[in-house]
Structure 1
Amino acid sequence: MTTQVKPTKADLLSQQARADLPITGTRVLSEEDRTVELSFSSDAPIEQWWRTLLVLEHTPEACNLTRLLSGGPLLFNHNRDKHIGVVVAAHVDADGKARATVKFGRSVLAEEKFQDVKDGILCNVSLGFNTDEIKLVEEREDGVDVYRATKWTPYEISLVTIPADTNVGVGRSAPEPITTNQPTGERAMPDPNNPKEPTGEGATRQQGAPPAPTTPQFSTADIQKAERERIAALTRLGSRFDCPEDAETFILEGRSIDAFNAHLVERQGKKEDTPTEEEIHKPVGMSERDLQQYSFLNVIRALAFPENKRYQEAAAFEREASRAAADLSGKEPDGILVPVDVLTHSGSRAMTTAGTSANIIADNLMPGSFIETLKKKCFIMNVGTKLTGLVGNVTIPKQLGDGAAHIVDEEEVPDESVAGFGQIKLNPRTLAARAELSRRFIIQSSIDVEAFVRQMLATAQAQKLNQLALYADGADDLPKGVKYFTGVNAVSFALAGKPTFEELVALETEIAADDADIEGMAYVLNARMRGHCKSTQKMPNTPSMIWEAGNTVNGYNTITTNHVANGDVFFGNWADMLIGLWGGLDIIADPFTKSTSGVTRITAFQDFDFAVRRAESFCVGTKA
């Protein structure tokens, strides 16, 4: 016989919970905007635990609506992968109920559920919430404890097909408990003058009515055994598939073995889709000493002064490295090819001073490699997935659809179902970055000048890469940037350059509706749009601005770059932007065009390409 254990106050504070009730007073506010107003919680007692009732206090002070008002999700059956809309407004009313205005997305599932709500088919709503502060208000003679949540936070609203108990609107514990550190506090006596304070049997059900059903109870020994088996299975899987850290995370978060199996499948797919470091990096094999010796200035001087024997001899090593890089890439450079080893190297540089090899000193050339400098100047290099040192055309597999599952009899032959696969192709296109240097500047030997030349070339490339990553239209052998990539989501703003908080959240919703939302997504906008967000309220008559502390919008990081056109806002998972860089940096010098002024034009050619791994990972907001 199993032993039923009544939860303590600490137990109630240490888990997420749900409360279910029928949708009452539902009204469609706008068919065009796809908005619905509904009641999502009340102060009716929640019988979620054995011999324990919880009453949610419904006052503006008790109910923390911050998470819901920050783009809280509307889900179907509490499934995080079935995101069908967003909460755009929420409030607590004097009748002891909380109400929200929700906006449905445009995915197939969201369309279906919106229609079901309008037709009265989907009739129940469930709330996911955390209890932040509670007090014991009654210990009844029948052994039932009644708690009141004086501080609680709703974090999601779900439309559900089968609530836990349609008679009393009770909920059940969430499957993924979380731990919080809350003080247990003192027990408080019930207030007989408060009509909402639950006192006596009539607070939960009418006299003579049968008690509400309770969930099956398990003994402590059963629970401990199941937990030991879960931990052991996750540990074995983590060891077998070489991901013990992932297994440890799932153990600590209390997640199931099935969830970990799904994670392993997704992880394996990513491994197969993404080239390894060995496949994408093709270094010449330069030693640390070679890398310290390499000089951009030697390259530029040799190209700018081809008749100068001293400069040609000084660049002998750089020419040798160029030939090795050209042989590896299979492409003959027009000037001198800087190997990928140099571009990705970060460290000190040995310099010879005073014309003698005896005085060799090591100094910090730059805070990072050429590529790292490029990243600092170029946001897309900092957030996208970089494939450097490529050779030839690159094809990356991409799964286009899922296989179908069938239920068959024992001797029945299942239908064949094969997931569709496509390809992401990266083809080298040439980017030219140009700078002009005077003769006197080129003949300098200072390490600061060497660093300046590298940073100058990286900055010139970064400016163009930023622009192309967002707005390249595919014409004239250019790749397609995010705005013009086929399948990218789009949201229209009513006023040019002045989107509302709801319109910005709509960018998130479009991606979520395509099941492409993950942690780490970010907004990309320009300085004018940042100013608008800093001076515009989220909702009328509220103190909260769209721009939040920590340079975030609705909890997501922001990237400000004036390569974004006025009025546009980009949002998405930027890791799904692939940036391919082939071979090294081909540098040529033109001392003739501006020879009368003693200026040499330096042009650095880099073969590159962009591709979007999943178009659904991005959304562009702009004026209609």
Structure 2
Amino acid sequence: MKTSDLMEQRAAIVARMNAAHTADDNAAFETAETELRNLDGKLERQRKIDAADRAEPGTPINGDGKLDTEIRSRFSVSRALAGAAGLGVDWGFEREVQAELAKRAGKPAEGLYIPTEVFETRVLTTSTGSELVPTEHRPDQYISALTAASVVRGLGARVLNGLTGNLSIPRETDSPAIGWVAENAALTPDDADFDSITLSPKHAGALSEWSRNMLLQASPDVETLLRQMLARNIALTIDRAAILGGGANEPTGVLGTSGIQKVTAPTNLFDAVADAVALADVENVGASRGLLTTPEIRKVAAKALDLNGLPIGVDKVFHSQPTTFSNQVPKTLGGSPGTEHGLIYGDWSELLIGVWSEIDVLINPYESTAYSKGNVSIRAMATVDVAVRHKKAFVSIEDVVPATIDAMPGSGS
């Protein structure tokens, strides 16, 4: 039985109790009071069931345990948008998925949810070998909007889903000192120190006008275009902010976090990465470490030669550290566009990404400008925030100019 049905029954019983009280009918009042106690027990159990149901990741469609795979193969962004706009298309599957996505987000969409699995992409990663291998993100990691084309999620950032308000997380900054003392000697008192990090909702979105013909097209090229537009406008924006955001209305990001460690003005990549690893070691940084940098930096590493003129290998230049190359990393760190590139090394599980909603798309076929042309206005939004748990867990390698820096000591630029 639904919670709403039980609430209606409760209201009816309370009305009977009021009537019995007014009529001074004690027997009728006691009967209604007993029914109310029993119903309140049922209502409490149903509320617990509802809460547990909302926490579930979603029931696989058709019971095949392959919801993510089915979404990637069957879900059509263009059909979903056309159906929501009231156009004559068959979007039964897309509507069916909405219930599952609402469970993920913990609340219904303002318009409709676009499942993030449809934006799945590949990133270049090297971990043990000297060659780059295209590695696909695990499907079960596609939890929320920011994973649509997110390199930071693939590196191991922790995602907190279903948030409903500001989230404050206590953080230990200093532990009590432990010392040895002689017999009957007093211990020196020392307290632990704490502060907190806060995640608060920040909104990223895009408002655009799409033509009626585009939404009605069944062409795979049009479907790909629609996915790319949403992924670029929402998921990539969130990903960039997680790396380096502007603060205020958007997250600060790793590089913008005050207090992270830094390696400045390195003369070669090999030594710079060695210094970054050493800084992380000194601070007892965890094992989920990785490097994130730009494709231009990879080009420098790939050209490094040994004394015999043979390629050294990208993996050796980066000390066999798992390395991801992405154009999401900024290329304007203190210099003109395309000059100073960023390298970030650290334990990416120390990066928290709070998610308040999936990609929520609202269709408006009646907006005056779009309506006059037979088009539809589309608003896509996601609500997230980013915070670093321990600042010393990340090292920024700064002032790296690909055109002048060496890959190895004494190799020449």
Scaled to the shorter chain, the TM-score interval is 0.5 to 0.7
CA distance in 2, matches of 1:558, 1:431: 28
CA distance in 2, matches of 1:601, 1:377: 24
1:571 aligns with 2:345: yes
1:371 aligns with 2:142: yes
Equivalent in 494, 500, 503 of residue 272 of structure 2: 503
Check 1:406–1:378 CA distance in 2 against 1; reply closer, same or farther (3 A cut): same
The residue number in structure 2 matching 1:584 is: 358
- SS of the residue 2:179 aligns to: coil
Deviations 1:448-493 (A, max 9, x none): 977875565345433212321222131x322111111011111222
1:322–1:337 Cα contact (<8 Å) kept:
no
CA distance in 2, matches of 1:447, 1:545: 41
The residue number in structure 2 matching 1:465 is: 238
1:393 aligns with 2:166: yes
1:302–1:312 Cα contact (<8 Å) kept:
yes
**CA displacement at 1:380 relative to structure 2:** 1.1
1:423 aligns with 2:196: yes
The residue number in structure 1 matching 2:81 is: 300
The residue number in structure 2 matching 1:609 is: 385
Equivalent in 127, 131, 152 of residue 380 of structure 1: 152
**What aligned pairs does 1:251-330 form with structure 2 within 5 A after superposition?**
282-283=55-56, 288-289=61-62, 297=78, 299-305=80-86, 321=99, 328-329=106-107
- SS of the residue 2:262 aligns to: strand
Check 1:436–1:282 CA distance in 2 against 1; reply closer, same or farther (3 A cut): farther
CA distance in 2, matches of 1:523, 1:318: 40
- SS of the residue 2:174 aligns to: coil
CA distance in 2, matches of 1:494, 1:544: 24
1:398–1:421 Cα contact (<8 Å) kept:
yes
Check 1:509–1:438 CA distance in 2 against 1; reply closer, same or farther (3 A cut): same
CA distance in 1, matches of 2:209, 2:141: 19
- SS of the residue 2:384 aligns to: strand
Check 1:381–1:452 CA distance in 2 against 1; reply closer, same or farther (3 A cut): farther
- SS of the residue 2:162 aligns to: strand
Equivalent in 298, 318, 327 of residue 553 of structure 1: 318
Q: Match of 2:291, as an amino acid? A: Y
The TM-score normalised by the length of structure 1 is 0.42
Deviations 1:310-365 (A, max 9, x none): 67996995698499669954xx86x41429xx55799xxxxxxxxxxxxxxxxxxx
CA distance in 1, matches of 2:327, 2:57: 37
1:370–1:458 Cα contact (<8 Å) kept:
no
Check 1:507–1:324 CA distance in 2 against 1; reply closer, same or farther (3 A cut): closer
Equivalent in 283, 299, 309 of residue 531 of structure 1: 299
Check 1:327–1:617 CA distance in 2 against 1; reply closer, same or farther (3 A cut): closer
**CA displacement at 1:424 relative to structure 2:** 2.4
Equivalent in 442, 451, 461 of residue 215 of structure 2: 442
**What aligned pairs does 1:105-254 form with structure 2 within 5 A after superposition?**
none
Q: Match of 1:548, as an amino acid? A: V
**CA displacement at 1:494 relative to structure 2:** 5.4
**CA displacement at 1:438 relative to structure 2:** 3.2
- SS of the residue 1:418 aligns to: coil
Q: Match of 1:501, as an amino acid? A: F
1:523–1:571 Cα contact (<8 Å) kept:
yes
Q: How many residues align?
A: 310
Percentage of pairs with the same residue: 22
2:245–2:253 Cα contact (<8 Å) kept:
yes
CA distance in 2, matches of 1:438, 1:508: 52
Check 1:530–1:599 CA distance in 2 against 1; reply closer, same or farther (3 A cut): farther
The residue number in structure 1 matching 2:289 is: 521
1:403 aligns with 2:176: yes
Deviations 1:30-54 (A, max 9, x none): xxxxxxxxxxxxxxxxxxxxxxxxx
CA distance in 2, matches of 1:542, 1:511: 33
The residue number in structure 2 matching 1:414 is: 187
Q: Match of 1:378, as an amino acid? A: S
Between Structure 1 and Structure 2, which shows a larger proportion of helix residues?
Answer: 2
**What aligned pairs does 1:89-104 form with structure 2 within 5 A after superposition?**
none
Q: Match of 2:152, as an amino acid? A: I
2:292–2:345 Cα contact (<8 Å) kept:
yes
CA distance in 2, matches of 1:504, 1:602: 45
CA distance in 2, matches of 1:515, 1:420: 18
- SS of the residue 1:430 aligns to: strand
2:301–2:317 Cα contact (<8 Å) kept:
no
CA distance in 1, matches of 2:140, 2:224: 10
Q: Match of 1:513, as an amino acid? A: V
**CA displacement at 1:374 relative to structure 2:** 6.2
Deviations 1:66-117 (A, max 9, x none): xxxxxxxxxxxxxxxxxxxxxxxxxxxxxxxxxxxxxxxxxxxxxxxxxxxx
**CA displacement at 1:545 relative to structure 2:** 5.7
CA distance in 2, matches of 1:546, 1:427: 46
Q: Which runs of 5+ in 1 are unaligned?
A: 1-277, 347-366
Equivalent in 485, 496, 502 of residue 257 of structure 2: 485
The residue number in structure 1 matching 2:7 is: none
**CA displacement at 1:574 relative to structure 2:** 1.7
- Higher-RCO chain (CA-CA 8 Å, sequence separation at least 6): 2
CA distance in 1, matches of 2:305, 2:94: 63
The residue number in structure 1 matching 2:399 is: 623
Q: Match of 1:371, as an amino acid? A: Y
CA distance in 2, matches of 1:327, 1:558: 31
1:562 aligns with 2:293: no
2:146–2:235 Cα contact (<8 Å) kept:
yes
Check 1:537–1:375 CA distance in 2 against 1; reply closer, same or farther (3 A cut): farther
Deviations 1:140-188 (A, max 9, x none): xxxxxxxxxxxxxxxxxxxxxxxxxxxxxxxxxxxxxxxxxxxxxxxxx
Check 1:571–1:368 CA distance in 2 against 1; reply closer, same or farther (3 A cut): closer
CA distance in 1, matches of 2:199, 2:353: 9
**CA displacement at 1:608 relative to structure 2:** 0.5
**CA displacement at 1:415 relative to structure 2:** 3.5
CA distance in 2, matches of 1:301, 1:466: 28
Equivalent in 84, 108, 113 of residue 338 of structure 1: 113
